[in-house]
Amino acid sequence: MTIAGGSSTGSKRPASWFGAGDDPALPATVAWCGGARVRDQAGREYLDFGMSLGAVVLGYGHPAVTAAVRAAIDHGGPGPFPAESEAALAEELAAAIPWLERVRFLKTGAEAIAAAIRLARVHTGRDLVIGCGYHGWLDGTSDATGVPAAVRGLYRTIPFNDETAARTIIREHGNALAIVIVEPVVDGPPSAGWLAALREETSRVGALLAFDEIKTGFRVALGGGAERWGVVPDLAAYGKGLANGFPLAVLGGRADVMAGVDRTWISSTLAGEPIAVAAARATLAIFVRDAVPDHLAAVGDRLQGGLRALARRFPDLVTGAPGVPEMCYLRYHAVETGQRVARAAARRGLLFKPTGYDFVSLAHSAADIDRAIDILGESLSEARG
């Protein structure tokens, strides 16, 4: 295998779904994707809830997105100056998500979070970052091997939905704090008190509040958790569903904070390339026209309800069904159990991740949800046996 680690995206490695081993009866690569279904290297078709780790919200190969991408390719792709479409997308996002007064495009969510940290340090003159959730693999919010101790020392974490801890930690570090970055959903919805505490305490100490909406944006609501739960951050990062699987992220927020781009350097050669921008414009138009979050909430509620029923049927294997309807999963007593269930489900034509979120899309129907629950029930019975 020439690719180091087996896959350039760690969570897409077959081992992360099925455990170690090389079973030819299980998918190892993807040859085709369409709607809510994919086909593997052997031509076997699966109903999928991985949805490219949540990056695909409308369904694979949505015709309007595909048509927009083809038109952008026909215009020659990236050029020497910004594409006209880049400014158009910025205006459309600001109209749909009013707190995005100014935006900057990047390629990945991790880059968008890194840019938020850079701008917060420019704006406040402080260095410390507090986070809650997963904010990408880059050094600023990671304690992985290879991150220098001095860099790790500039990052602290707070527990999700713990209002008292949030207030205490922010006040303790207030004089050094540049920004608090949180995922609005971590295995469940946020409490109103927790979000309000974050907003109040960051404002009190002169730090910025940022929402990492990479998963929640264009899913729990068009504007993500900020819209759904009514707390407006100073900065917000969106990605994944923004362009229905094409590589694009955006950081946006208060105009005075975003003006800091003129006092530092945040730039990437292909940040606003017109192909992904075209995909995002088409995706955004569909979201606005078709009320996509309403569909996601409906089918997601059906899915999470079915998962909770399975948790009650199999308490010896499953501890619950965390998340919110639009992004939920089965939590197992043991990782190996989840992998056994994932293998059994794949052999029955279902791709359902054993850890982390599974995602519904516009392409999932009620019948798809019912089929998935039936297959998971059979697979859990097999795993129990």
**CA distance linking residue 286 with residue 296, whole number of Å:** 13
- 336 residue type, one letter: E
pLDDT digit string (tens) for 247-263?
A: 999 999 999 999 999 99
Is the pLDDT at 1 greater than 80, yes or no?
no
Q: What is the pLDDT of residue 82?
A: 93
Same domain, 81 and 198: yes
- Beta partners for 106? 249
Same domain, 310 and 281: no
Q: Confidence class of residue 21 from pLDDT cuts 50, 70 and 90?
A: confident
- Lookup: tokens for 57: 């919200």
**CA distance linking residue 62 with residue 69, whole number of Å:** 11
Domain boundary among 290, 309, 327: 290
Q: What is the pLDDT of residue 35?
A: 98
Same domain, 105 and 250: yes
* Torsion sign (Cα): 364, 370, 371, 373: positive
Q: What is the pLDDT of residue 224?
A: 97
**CA distance linking residue 335 with residue 348, whole number of Å:** 20
CATH code of the domain in which 300 resides:
3.90.1150.10
Same domain, 38 and 73: no
Domain boundary among 290, 306, 329: 290
Same domain, 127 and 81: yes
Is the pLDDT at 85 greater than 80, yes or no?
yes
CATH code of the domain in which 274 resides:
3.40.640.10
Is the pLDDT at 153 greater than 90, yes or no?
yes
pLDDT digit string (tens) for 295-326?
A: 999 999 999 999 999 999 999 999 999 999 99
Same domain, 181 and 280: yes
Same domain, 149 and 169: yes
Which residues contact residue 360 at a Cβ distance below 8 angstroms, ignoring those fewer than 6 apart? 49, 51, 296, 299, 300, 303, 325, 326, 327, 369
Is the pLDDT at 10 greater than 90, yes or no?
no
The CB density around residue 142, as the number of other CB atoms within 10 Å, is 18
- pLDDT > 70: percent of the chain: 100
Residue-range definition of the domain harbouring residue 217: 63-290
Q: What is the pLDDT of residue 15?
A: 87
**CA distance linking residue 275 with residue 27, whole number of Å:** 29
Same domain, 123 and 266: yes
Is the pLDDT at 212 greater than 80, yes or no?
yes
The angle at the Cα of 9, spanning 277 to 237, to the nearest 5 degrees, equals 45
Same domain, 115 and 21: no
Q: What is the pLDDT of residue 385?
A: 84
Domain boundary among 273, 290, 307: 290
SS (H, E, C) the chain: CCCHHHCCCHHHCHHHHHCCCCCCCCCCCEEEEEECEEEECCCCEEEECCHHHHCCCCCECCHHHHHHHHHHHHCCCCCCCCCHHHHHHHHHHHHHCCCCCEEEEECCHHHHHHHHHHHHHHHHCCCEEEEECCCCCCHHHCCCCCCCHHHHCCEEECCCCCHHHHHHHHHHHHHHEEEEEECCCCCCCCCHHHHHHHHHHHHHHCCEEEEECCCCECCCECCCHHHHHCCCCCEEEECHHHHCCCCCEEEEECHHHHHHHHHCCCCCCCCCCHHHHHHHHHHHHHHHHHCHHHHHHHHHHHHHHHHHHHHHHCCCCEEECCEECCEECCEECCHHHHHHHHHHHHHCCEECCCCCCEECCCCCCHHHHHHHHHHHHHHHHHHHC
**CA distance linking residue 119 with residue 300, whole number of Å:** 36
- pLDDT > 90: percent of the chain: 94
Q: What is the pLDDT of residue 5?
A: 85
316 burial class (0-12, 13-18, 19+ CB within 10 angstroms)? exposed
Which residues contact residue 181 at a Cβ distance below 8 angstroms, ignoring those fewer than 6 apart? 113, 116, 117, 129, 130, 131, 132, 133, 135, 141, 210, 211, 212
Q: What is the pLDDT of residue 374?
A: 98
User: What is the chain's mean pLDDT, rounded?
Assistant: 96
- Lookup: tokens for 383: 């795993």
Same domain, 79 and 198: yes
Q: What is the pLDDT of residue 298?
A: 98
Same domain, 218 and 346: no
Q: What is the pLDDT of residue 145?
A: 96
Q: Confidence class of residue 338 from pLDDT cuts 50, 70 and 90?
A: very high
Q: What is the pLDDT of residue 172?
A: 97
Cβ atoms of 244 and 275 closer than 8 Å:
no
The angle at the Cα of 33, spanning 31 to 39, to the nearest 5 degrees, equals 50
Domains identified in the chain, total number: 2
Give the pTM: 0.96
Q: What is the pLDDT of residue 264?
A: 98
Same domain, 117 and 252: yes
Q: Confidence class of residue 175 from pLDDT cuts 50, 70 and 90?
A: very high
